[in-house]
Amino acid sequence: AMASRGLGTIAYRRGRLDEARAWYKKSLAYLEGLQEPAMVNDLRGRLASILHREGRSDEALEELQACLR
């Protein structure tokens, strides 16, 4: 999960948003069912950042609200 998150961060910094999203989602899928809420919320925040940069504010807000559940 950490490696996928790191690769996502590299892709994000290079402006490769689709690639970053794929890495972050892969990391989230790995974490499903594990008791790692802080890491899950971190990844959701990163996904929200991508969505916001793409002008998809409603979806970004949904990701952020999921962090509160």
Mind listing the pLDDT tens digit for each residue in 16-39?
999 999 999 999 999 988 889 999
- Residue 47's closest CA among 68, 66, 31? 66
How many of the other CB atoms lie within 10 Å of CB of 25?
Answer: 14
Alpha-carbon dihedral angle through residues 9, 15, 51, 49, given to the nearest 10 degrees: 50
Does 69 have pLDDT greater than 90?
no
Across 32-58, average pLDDT: 94
For the whole model, what pTM was predicted? Answer: 0.90
Token pair for 52: 């916001």
Question: Do the beta carbons of residue 8 and residue 18 sit within 8 Å?
Answer: no
